[in-house]
Amino acid sequence: MMEESEFRALVSLLDDEDPQVVDMVTEKILSLGNDIVPFLESEWEKSFNPLVQERIENITHLLQYEQVKIRLREWYESEDQDLLTGMWAVATYQYPDLELEKLKQDIEQVYYEVWLNFKQGLHPYDQVKILNGLLFWTYKFSANLKNFHSPSNSYINCVLESKKGNPISLCIIYLIIARKLKLPISGVNLPNLFVLTYKDPKYPQFYINAYNKGLIFSRDDIENYIKELKMEPIDSFFEPCSNAEIIRRVFRNLIQSYKKAGEKEKEAEVSELLEVITSPGDIF
């Protein structure tokens, strides 16, 4: 790490009229890595030059964006691919200061309330009905019908705060709580809709629509849904998907959200993030 005085002198060159100088300074600052971000933020606050502030913002974003890529790569290569950690990595694209521990505390608060009122040993339908009542009536999680395409629906911190989300974000919160309760519930990738399935060898498999307050439905309902879409049924429409597939779908939703909003730069950046956790042969 260079001396603070050296760094300040380097930042002062960001208002140079020569683009080559600015490019060289930018590359030098970027080479210092993410640890330099607090110093950049401090220099931004001290500056009264809008051009310098804008260039500091751009550099800070590039550093934080690279950090998101590192987090996602580490998550993708991890053994368990923890779902909450994956969602945290996604959220740090828009909220770089978001702490994983804060998310864990927020989830734990919801889980504790559910755990207090939950009874093990019940029939799966009854377990799901209790979970539905707590999440959708006590905690009031619900579908974000007014702003369905808002990017905030894909950021778990926003959904936990607003209690509103899209099909996959509501399913993810439901799924994280269900897994903490040791319930055999998993995500299912349907076309245009993400749902959950309760799959236990001791009981008939059934499905849960978290976007419709935990509505329980059957395989026949999925088959009818697929027919209405004029698609051929495939195994992935009925069986559990991996955490990596879930996070990839979150990114695809985000890409569409930014596309609809006309934010081409964010659309391109999120597309790059999707590539970080996509390998040849991955299911879409």
Do 69 and 176 sit in the same domain of this protein?
no
Per residue of the chain (284 residues), what is the pLDDT tens digit? 566 777 777 777 787 777 888 888 888 888 888 888 888 888 878 877 888 888 888 888 999 999 999 999 999 999 999 999 999 999 999 999 999 999 999 999 999 999 998 988 899 999 999 999 999 999 999 999 999 899 999 999 999 999 999 999 999 999 999 999 999 999 999 999 999 999 999 999 999 999 999 999 999 999 999 999 999 999 999 999 999 999 999 999 999 999 999 999 999 999 999 999 998 766 55
Do 37 and 163 sit in the same domain of this protein?
no
* Max Cα-Cα span within the chain: 72
Do 110 and 195 sit in the same domain of this protein?
yes
Do 204 and 240 sit in the same domain of this protein?
yes
260 in any annotated domain:
yes
32 in any annotated domain:
yes
Domain count, the chain: 2
Rounded Cα–Cα distance for residues 68 and 34 (Å): 11
Do 32 and 156 sit in the same domain of this protein?
no
pTM value is 0.89
Q: Which residues contact 275 (CB under 8 A, 6 or more apart)?
A: none
281 in any annotated domain:
no
Do 45 and 89 sit in the same domain of this protein?
no
Using a CB cutoff of 8 Å and minimum separation of 24, what contacts does 197-206 make?
197/238, 197/239, 197/240, 198/124, 198/128, 199/240, 200/124, 203/123, 203/124, 206/124, 206/125
**pLDDT at residue number 42:** 84
Do 167 and 145 sit in the same domain of this protein?
yes
**pLDDT at residue number 260:** 96
Do 169 and 194 sit in the same domain of this protein?
yes
Rounded Cα–Cα distance for residues 84 and 107 (Å): 9
Do 145 and 115 sit in the same domain of this protein?
yes
Domain assignment of residue 45, given as a range: 4-77
Residue whose entry in the numeric block shows the structure tokens 């029939």: 123
Do 182 and 56 sit in the same domain of this protein?
no
Do 72 and 91 sit in the same domain of this protein?
no
